[in-house]
């Protein structure tokens, strides 16, 4: 079974919520990304999202834009990242999702990229700017590679389109709890429970909620009405703050563990 599906099945059986961590690949370098993956696995992270550096990250706020810049500056390419993921697989079986802009897939070639990603140990892909209506070939290749196609639902997504999107998803549905770009927020979205209820009317897939979670209280609040939470910018901030320190992965792991513990506590 795909690692993402297996992890969510295990979480459901244990009555636990999932924790999805996002980091920018190659920030500050790919050796750090490998070490961070191991540290985050040890901290209890259930799924690791690796943001593939891209020159025009339109869906991302400043924190993650800067991470992408640092990743590009460190020489990170999709091919080198797949090599790093293969290296991670020697130490960890944490489920891995690529958070990627479609241009990077298209440039290499759809079938070639998906095959290479699967061989490296990738479990799912979230292609940010690929509309589901244009994804027939992409999804066919993903099914053949036994990888999960992760799709986004936004607060502005109409109910009929929620049905269309969720029908095409696998692994989990990523609900963006706020309009706009990624980034930390001082409070969670007011209509969160209402929107997750709408999504649940159309799918039995786990719902992971992200955009804005930055502390244990917010993590608990969001986890109460979702199957998993996604934390990105708050972790990326920690990486930037401690990037020059030799124990950076351990420091970031310790920060993440406070959030993981908040949603795992009984």
Instruction: Give the contacts of 182 (CB within 8 A, at least 6 positions apart).
Output: 59, 60, 61, 63, 64, 210, 211, 232, 233
Asked if the model's pLDDT at residue 6 lies above 70, the reply is yes
What sign has the CA pseudo-torsion 166, 98, 51, 11?
positive
Report yes or no on whether pTM surpasses 0.85. yes
Asked if the model's pLDDT at residue 188 lies above 60, the reply is no
Position 243 scores a pLDDT of 96
Q: Is 49 marked active-site?
A: yes
Q: Render pLDDT for 75-112 as a digit per residue (tens, 0 to 9).
A: 999 999 999 999 999 999 999 999 999 999 999 999 99
Distance CA 152, CA 175 (A): 6
Residue among 34, 49, 221, 227 flagged as catalytic: 49
Element (H, E) at 48: strand 47-51
Distance CA 218, CA 220 (A): 5
CA angle 203, 206, 209 (to 5 degrees): 110
Q: Which residue has the higher pLDDT, 191 or 117?
A: 117
Q: Render pLDDT for 7-44 as a digit per residue (tens, 0 to 9).
A: 999 999 999 999 999 999 999 999 999 999 999 999 99
**Average pLDDT estimate for 136-159:** 96
Tell me the pLDDT band of 189, cut-offs 50, 70 and 90: low
**Average pLDDT estimate for 125-136:** 95
Position 212 scores a pLDDT of 80
Element (H, E) at 248: helix 248-264
> Nearest-CA neighbor of 101 among 65, 63, 155?
65
Average pLDDT, the chain: 93
Domains of the chain plus CATH, in order, are 3-264 (3.20.20.70)
Residue among 34, 41, 46, 60 flagged as catalytic: 60
Distance CA 220, CA 249 (A): 24
Position 192 scores a pLDDT of 87
Position 47 scores a pLDDT of 98
Position 186 scores a pLDDT of 47
Distance CA 57, CA 54 (A): 6
Position 36 scores a pLDDT of 98
Q: Are strands 47-51 and 96-100 parallel, antiparallel or unpaired?
A: parallel
Position 71 scores a pLDDT of 98
């Amino acid at each position: 079974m795909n690692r993402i599906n297996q992890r969510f099945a295990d979480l459901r059986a244990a009555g636990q919520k999932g924790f999805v961590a996002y980091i920018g690949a190659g920030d500050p370098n790919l050796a750090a990304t490998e070490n961070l993956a191991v540290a985050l696995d040890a901290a209890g992270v259930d799924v690791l999202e690796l943001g593939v550096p891209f020159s025009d990250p339109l869906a991302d706020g400043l924190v993650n834009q800067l991470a992408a810049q640092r990743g590009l500056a460190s020489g990170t390419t999709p091919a080198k990242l797949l090599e790093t993921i293969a290296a991670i697989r020697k130490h960890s079986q944490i489920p891995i999702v690529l958070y990627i802009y479609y241009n990077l897939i298209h440039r290499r070639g759809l079938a070639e990229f998906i095959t290479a990603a699967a061989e490296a140990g990738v479990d799912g892909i979230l292609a940010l700017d690929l509309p589901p209506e244009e994804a027939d070939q992409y999804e066919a290749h993903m099914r053949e590679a036994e990888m999960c196609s992760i799709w986004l639902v936004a607060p502005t997504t109409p109910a009929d389109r929620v049905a269309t999107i969720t029908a095409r998803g696998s692994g989990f549905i990523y609900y963006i709890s706020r309009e706009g770009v990624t980034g930390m927020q001082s409070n969670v979205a007011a209509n969160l429970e209402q929107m997750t209820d709408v999504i649940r009317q159309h799918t039995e897939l786990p719902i992971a909620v992200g955009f804005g979670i930055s502390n244990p209280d917010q993590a608990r609040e969001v986890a109460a009405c979702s199957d998993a939470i996604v934390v990105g910018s708050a972790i990326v901030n920690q990486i930037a703050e401690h990037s020059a320190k030799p124990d950076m992965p351990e420091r970031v792991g310790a920060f993440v563990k406070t959030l993981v513990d908040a949603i795992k506590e009984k």
